Structure 1
Amino acid sequence: MSAPATGALTGRVIAVTGATGPAGRATLRRLAADGATVIAAGSDAQRLDAATDAVRAAVPGARISGQVIDLLDPQEVHDWADHLEAEHERVDGLFHLVGGWRGSKTFFESRLDDWDWLQDRVIRTLQHTSLAFQPALLRSSAGRYAMVSATAAHRPTAGGAAYAAAKAASEAWTLALADSFTRESASADGVPTAAAAILVIKALVTPQMRAEKPDAKFAGFTDTADLADTLAGLWDRPAADLNGQHLWLTAR
């Protein structure tokens, strides 16, 4: 039997939602390689098993498990957060990597049912995870919450009104979470211990995408490995310096 992975995140307990997507898979592997105990969450059991099995194959001794969960059910998410903290005696991080895009060619053609879909997938899921995990992250000695936003939230385009608005709303909600950490999170000497950060990208690119289009430049895109590195590095920065910050992984 292989020895558990050890590294900078050994002892940390980190949950990752949207774990079966490209960003999620890269992040699971990075966290496991650094020794964290990783809980991967997704809505599809087969995809979740494939994602966790891939990490175990790549990282001998990886501490990783999967949880099928409906992020649109607030009680189910709250119960999950409580269960993780009871089982592991702590939760140090929640990375919300649930994505999705809907848009149109022009502003006039924008469909409000696209907004409805984005409100559920982008906003509601983030609201449910942040509300459920905030108390546990406060109780951690170094709680971290992170979500992935997009340049669209800062520079909306005509056809992307619904998507830009959804991302902007998600950022505002996360900044409110950050304020709660400022007000409620402190060590014995008064130094904040928990932080919420917003990672801003234009779009993501995977190794497979680069292999399929070797001549493409993917200008401004963020490699999934770089996103994973940034997330794993959140514990390298003091909470007071990180909380409420936009971490730009593409040109502003």
Structure 2
Amino acid sequence: MSIDRVILFIGPPGSGKGTLSQKCVQKLGWQQISTGDLCRRHIAKQTEIGKSIDFAIKSGKLVSDGLISQMVFDWFRQENIESDVVILDGYPRTVNQAKDFDELADQLGDSAQVIVVKFVIDDTVVVDRLVNRYICKNKSCQQVYSLSAGSKLAPQSDMACDSCGSELIKRKDDNADAIRERLKVYHLHESDLISHYVQAGYEIYEFKSDLPIDQLFTEFAETMGGRAHDSNKK
């Protein structure tokens, strides 16, 4: 199937990119690629790339741009893409990655429109979200949950995934110090990324992602949903 749109989710860790991506997959039938998930697959398989990624993550650093871009390019070449809309969650994260993506966009052709979605949220909210975040241990599921008081993302069963029943686990880097370091790294690149997208001529939308996920999804779907078969391409 040809790709009509590639939507780039840009936002700090914990801003809701992954959760909204899952909603879009479930409700709109779109396809999603998470660089975080790709990294974890390589780590689980203990490939040479996976070993390098594991060291960088545990050190609170970004994986090299070249490795990340190569994984994304390989995904587009090897994955059976069944939707005309693909969300990139967590890629590009740097201007160098964005330049790599421009090459990928050119390879996809003029029929693929590129849209950038920026998630706006306060750092204090991010820290609270991530210290209370748990994910499904099942590598093929990776559903995200929150143990924050009153959260609508809380699991129905105690520490078990609602979707597949697997155990819920906490990521090693979801602690306050590591989160703040990741936020610093994100903010270091954010303005340059946006400037690059403006120069590239990509459409950019902003959403306040401290909203409840259902409300955020509704606002996002109302803005993007009607554009699923938009003939105004990149």
**Where on the TM-score scale, by shorter chain, does this alignment land: which range?**
0.3 to 0.5
Q: TM-score, normalised by structure 1?
A: 0.40
Higher relative contact order (CA 8 A, sep 6+): 2
Q: TM-score, normalised by structure 2?
A: 0.43
